Structure formats: structure tokens, C-alpha cells
Chains A and B, each alone.
Chain A
Amino acid sequence: METAVTQVADRVALPIRVHDLLLGLAGRLDDDALTDARELLASAELDRSLELIAGCLVAGRIPLSPVERRDLDTLFTEAHCDPTLIQQLKVDDGRARPPVHKFHPGLVDTQVGGAEQGVNDAVHRVLEVLPDVRALWCVWRTTPAGAVAGPVPNRVVLVEIGPRGFPPSTAYRIEHALRRAGIRAAVEVLRDSSPLTEYHRQAMQQARRVSFDGADGSAEPDAPRTWGQERQGGWKKEPEPEAEQPSSSSWIPEMEPVTSPKETTTVLDPVADDTPSSPAPVPASTPSPSPRPDRPNFDQPSLRRAEPVEEPKTPAVPVVPAVPAPVVPPSVPSVKDTFDDSDLNDQERDLLRQLQEELAKREQAEAAAAPNKKLSWQTDKSGRHSDNESKQWSSPPTPRIINGAPPSAGGTGEPPRFSPGA
């Protein structure tokens, strides 16, 4: 029996280790290589995934650190791949500098557009079934990646998942959903137990969050959407009830708080740099009743829809009598405390996670005791798929500028074209 358990553990661990390796290669390998490797990984073709990674590294003469080289060697051995290929990999002797990338959230009023545009519409159905997806962020990378770089800017979608999520399949399913919607993007799935690489940290600093339910953004089409506009424009949002803050561990740099309590919000919240030089204060005109303005906004309940039992709490809070019961009891560590301490060890994270699960159970019990609350949630969820909202989100994906040229047909780099009927 022990052997069986070990085998199961190995089967789970190996793909995730490859996934982590791919995260470390983001920005060095071209995005299509990462995407293809993740798809193979999710399709249980571990050997092909590893050989693809190694082949791209060899062909692109991309150096690895000694640790990465050793890790890849180990993975090859465990996946029963021919390690001969590994011997041809370049090892960084300390002189190679990692590529420096630049990110930009995109400007709504330009041809590039916000990186988040169209993403919600493309992925919301997938996100409803993928487990433990906590947050979604979008950003443009304006610099090329890899030896066979694709066009720039390239959209990067960052996904935060919890311990119950499965990184390879999450990356594949989201990328596949985006591709079907005509959106090319590098999908980076970040586990809450893993530290951020410099690449992802820089991307997160510029990224905008995408709410999963996505109706509020279309309800406020004229609302300022860029970070700068939000900061200057006094974007009014309803205060977020304190009792709705679920605690959750994360390592993502601190960001400005989400101020809208609506579960259907699609308006993309600004991401504040966590560097000291970044303008940290929240605009005075942005109502933020939370006493902890630097609380990460991915903690919003609407971003934790992976667990249906947690969903009822959001829309019904002001109405249902059971809601005033503290969702976050005093003994629960504050959200700020939770997220500020990036040095939590696994044991502490596990304790925190258990606490969250206990809270979720209590909420579920409260929801069962208050049928109106459940009804309210159901109504809201069905309303999410109403025709009005789908129409509002039926606009095509954001045009992409490719080397100064407007969008292309079918993902190709074709010049501006017009429909024959136009």
C-alpha cells in the first residue's frame, strides 16, 4: 500500500516540478514553447514536454543556472528521457545576464488596449470548473522573449491558484480557452506556495486583475480603467464589507485594495508597485473603508469562486440575517497580516488553510440555515449569463499592434485588412 501511495505522490509531484521549471524559464524561452510544453504536460506527455524544453534551450543556446541544469537532469531521469540532450545545454558561468523585460497594463483608448480586454469573456466558463483558482491578472509584455520570439507586445495572463489547484491543467485550459476566443497569451499559473520569480514579480506590478464574473466592467464602460486614470479620476466604488474578507495565503506583492464588493465586477483593479518608490497611497477620492489600504485585492470573495460553498456569501450579505455573523472571527489573522508575511512556512500556511476551510464550513452552514441567501446567490449566478451582459462582452478581442501594424487576421502578421463586404 505504501508503494501505491508513493507512486501516486510521484505522479503528482513530477508534473508540478516541471511546471515550476517552466515558470523559471518564463521570459527566457519563447512563449509558444512554454505554452506547448504546458499543454504536453497537462496531456500527460511528460517526456515530450521535457524534450521540447530541452530542445528549445539547446537550439536557442539559452543558458541555465547550475541548479536548473541539475533539476532538469533529475527530471529527465525520472521521466525516463534520454539524458544525452542535457549534456548539450549551456550552463551559465555567471556572465550571462537574464533578459530584462518590460510590462505595461495597456491603455484602453489606444489600439493596444488593456491586456485584460476580452479575457474574462473567454475564460469565465473554464474558471467555473477549474479548482481553487483565486485570481487572474493580465499585462502586456513589451519585450521579446526567447530565441525565436513572437510579436510584441505579448499578452501575459497570470493566474493564482491555491493548494487544491493543479497548475499544468489550469495553464492549459485557460490558454486553450483564450486561443479559442482568438486571444494569444502566455498563461503563467502561480502557486501560492511558490516564490515569485523576478519575471513574474515585475509582471504582477503592472498587471490588472480580472474578476471572474465579469459584468460590472461592462456596466461601467466609461469608467477609467487604467491605473493612472483610476488614481486620478476618483473612481467611485462601494465600500467592501469587512466581514466578507476571506483570509488566504499568498505571496503576490501587495496591491491596492479592491473597493467594489460586487461579485460581478470586471473593472480591473489597479496594481500598486510594492517598491518604496511606487505611489503607495490610495487616491483619496477612491472610497476605501478598509482600514488596511494595502491589502491585496485578489482576496476579494468574487475571486474565490472555485468553491461553490463560498459563493453565497457575497451577494446576500446586506440582506440575509445570517450574514452579520462574523465571517472572519477576531481570532482570524488579519488579511494584511496574512499577506504581508511572505515568510510563512508550510506549517503556518497549512494552519491558515485549515482555518479558512473551517470558516468556509461555517459559512456553508449559515447559508443552509438561510434559504433566502441561497436563493439570492442562485439568482445572481443566473443573471451573470444574461443576454445583456453577454452582448456587452461580445466585442472582439483587443486589437494587437504588431511592430506598429494593426491587428492581423487569424493570428498572422498580416497588414490591416478589411472585410470583403466592408
Chain B
Amino acid sequence: MDSYAESDCHELLLRLAGRLPDRQLWRFRDWLASGAVTALARSLPLTLLRERVGLTAEESRLLTNALRPAGADPERLNALPWVDEIAEVDYTFTSESPEWVSMGDSTGVVLGAIVRDRTDIGEVRGSWRLPRTGGEPATRVVLVTATSQCARLAGELQRVLRALGTHEPSVEVIPRGILLPRYHQAALAASVPLAMGAAEGGHLVPS
């Protein structure tokens, strides 16, 4: 998979945050990070169809560019419905988990230890996501800026968070220059800094 296709696929999976269940999204991101694009090409379109997830025209272009060369079924790709724009985000975000009072953030400490001195990583921030309809516990969303290898970084951080106890990690590695989707804008607006890498100009929120 060439780097353009990989970055397209990463961007698509980034855009699907909040629209595809975390349970499936982190898995697809892991497959992309592991280079299992063939598997992704089979499963992602089928999952989007079964879950009735509509794509914008731009997202459809990303999907086709990324997965068609890897063997995605064109019939499935063409069957995916388009939407004009992504509707309002179904979640609200807060800087602190409303369910618990933190007495120390071991996840933030571990992330800080990982990204320290990494020149491909900028800022790491976190916020807590709650569904507007309620009924689900708060989910931590980790937002990271990276200069390169975004997909692999997402996979790496996901593995760390899973080992720490988050079964379905929500790690959003944001490449430079991307227009943030509403989901990420909302998450970022409520986020607090967790750690800082060594990449220059990697601040998600201007200081």
C-alpha cells in the first residue's frame, strides 16, 4: 500500500469517528497500522453497508482511493449511499469524566512517557465523550497531532491503551493540514493537554 493510499485510508477512518462504533473502528485502524489492507478492503465496505453508514462524496473518494487497489469489491463500494454532509455529532465532550473524580491519570503518565522526545508527535490531548442520548459510560478520546506515520502511531497508541484497560480505545491521530471534522472539533474544544512530543508546531490548540 502506497503512502497516499494509507494516508487516505487513515483520514477516512479518522472521519468515521463517532459514526462507526468504537468496537469496529479501533479494529480497522489496527489493521491499517499492521498493513492488513487486504482485510480492510473486504471488511470496511461491508461493515459500512451493514451499519448503514453514509459517506460524503469526499469520504467516498478516500475509500475508493484507499481500498479499491487492495481488492475492495466495486459493487460494495458503489452501493454505499452518499450524504450531503455529516449531521450533528451525537456526542457531547467534557474535559473531565462526569462519572468519577480523577485521583491521578496513569494513562496520561504512560502516554507522556511514550511520546517524550518523539519528533513525529506533537501534542496529546484528551477529553471525555458522552452520548447525547445517555445510557453509555463516558469514553476517553485521545487526540494526537503527528507529522508522519499517522496510521502506525494510532495502532501503537491503541495497543498501549488496550493494555492499560481500555478495550475499545478512541485514539484520533490528526495529520497536519487536515480540516477537522465536527466530531474532532467538539472533542478538541473540551480537551485538556495530556502529553507533549517533540514535533515542532504540533500544538492542537494554539497557546
A413 to B167, CA, bound (A): 8
Q: Tell me if B162 counts as interface (CB < 8 A to partner A).
A: yes
A59 near B30 with CB under 8 A, answer: yes
A149 near B165 with CB under 8 A, answer: no
A112 to B139, CA, bound (A): 24
B138 near A408 with CB under 8 A, answer: no
Q: Which residues of A contact B163 (CB under 8 A)?
A: 144, 149-151, 403, 413
Q: Tell me if A94 counts as interface (CB < 8 A to partner B).
A: no
B43 near A151 with CB under 8 A, answer: no
Nearest CB of A to B185, in Å: 23
Q: Which residues of A contact B103 (CB under 8 A)?
A: 415-418
B107 near A413 with CB under 8 A, answer: yes
Closest to B31 in A: A59
Closest to B137 in A: A410
Q: Tell me if B15 counts as interface (CB < 8 A to partner A).
A: no
Q: Tell me if B158 counts as interface (CB < 8 A to partner A).
A: yes
A414 near B140 with CB under 8 A, answer: yes
Closest to A407 in B: B165
Q: Tell me if A419 counts as interface (CB < 8 A to partner B).
A: yes
Per-position 1/0 for A54-91, Cβ under 8 A of B:
11101111000000000000000000011011001000
A414 to B108, CA, bound (A): 9
Per-position 1/0 for B182-196, Cβ under 8 A of A:
000000000000000
A81 to B39, CA, bound (A): 12
Q: Tell me if A409 counts as interface (CB < 8 A to partner B).
A: yes
- Interface window among B57-65, B93-101, B172-180, B199-207: B93-101
Q: Which residues of B contact A33 (CB under 8 A)?
A: 27
Per-position 1/0 for B85-99, Cβ under 8 A of A:
000000000000101
A88 to B39, CA, bound (A): 9
A214 to B94, CA, bound (A): 40
- Interface window among A45-53, A126-134, A165-173, A374-382: A45-53
Q: Which residues of A contact B27 (CB under 8 A)?
A: 32-33, 36, 52, 55-56
A48 to B76, CA, bound (A): 14
A148 near B162 with CB under 8 A, answer: yes
Q: Which residues of A contact B134 (CB under 8 A)?
A: none
* Interface hits, B129-175 → A, CB 8 Å: 137-140, 158-159, 161-168
Q: Which residues of B contact A54 (CB under 8 A)?
A: 39
Taking a contact as CB atoms closer than 8 A, the residue among A55, A81, A412, A418 that contacts B140 in the complex is A412
Closest to A31 in B: B167
Q: Tell me if A383 counts as interface (CB < 8 A to partner B).
A: no
A55 to B31, CA, bound (A): 7
Q: Tell me if A405 counts as interface (CB < 8 A to partner B).
A: yes
Q: Which residues of B contact A420 (CB under 8 A)?
A: 100-101
* Interface hits, B98-143 → A, CB 8 Å: 99-107, 137-140
Q: Which residues of A contact B1 (CB under 8 A)?
A: none
Nearest CB of B to A46, in Å: 12
Nearest CB of B to A397, in Å: 14
A54-B39, A58-B39 known; A413 vs B99 contact (CB < 8 Å): no
Q: Tell me if B17 counts as interface (CB < 8 A to partner A).
A: no
Chain A: residues with Cβ within 8 Å of the partner, total of 45
B34 near A60 with CB under 8 A, answer: yes
Nearest CB of A to B173, in Å: 16
B46 near A48 with CB under 8 A, answer: yes
Closest to B99 in A: A409
Per-position 1/0 for A160-204, Cβ under 8 A of B:
000000000000000000000000100000000000000000000
A184 near B167 with CB under 8 A, answer: yes
* Interface hits, A308-323 → B, CB 8 Å: none
A55 near B43 with CB under 8 A, answer: yes
* Interface hits, A367-422 → B, CB 8 Å: 400, 402-403, 405, 408-420, 422
A419 to B103, CA, bound (A): 10
A151 near B137 with CB under 8 A, answer: no
A59-B39, A413-B107 known; A51 vs B164 contact (CB < 8 Å): no
Q: Which residues of B contact A81 (CB under 8 A)?
A: 42
Taking a contact as CB atoms closer than 8 A, the residue among A45, A60, A150 that contacts B167 in the complex is A150
A415 near B39 with CB under 8 A, answer: no
A184-B167, A403-B164 known; A409 vs B43 contact (CB < 8 Å): no
Q: Which residues of B contact A409 (CB under 8 A)?
A: 97, 99-100, 137-138
Per-position 1/0 for A7-50, Cβ under 8 A of B:
00000000000000000000000001100100000000101100
A148 near B164 with CB under 8 A, answer: no
A415 near B106 with CB under 8 A, answer: yes
B97 near A85 with CB under 8 A, answer: no
B71 near A413 with CB under 8 A, answer: no
Q: Tell me if B47 counts as interface (CB < 8 A to partner A).
A: yes
A150 to B168, CA, bound (A): 9
Nearest CB of A to B142, in Å: 11
Per-position 1/0 for A132-153, Cβ under 8 A of B:
0000000000001001111100
A32 to B162, CA, bound (A): 11
Nearest CB of B to A421, in Å: 9
Nearest CB of A to B29, in Å: 10
Q: Which residues of B contact A84 (CB under 8 A)?
A: 38, 42, 71
Closest to A45 in B: B50
A148-B30, A151-B165, A412-B139 known; A88 vs B100 contact (CB < 8 Å): no
A414 near B100 with CB under 8 A, answer: yes
A47-B46, A51-B46, A414-B97 known; A85 vs B164 contact (CB < 8 Å): no
Q: A52-B43, A61-B34, A414-B165 are in contact. List 4 more A-B contacts (CB 8 A).
A: A51-B42, A88-B38, A151-B162, A409-B138
List the 3 closest A-B pairs by CB distance, nearest first. A413-B165, A410-B137, A55-B39
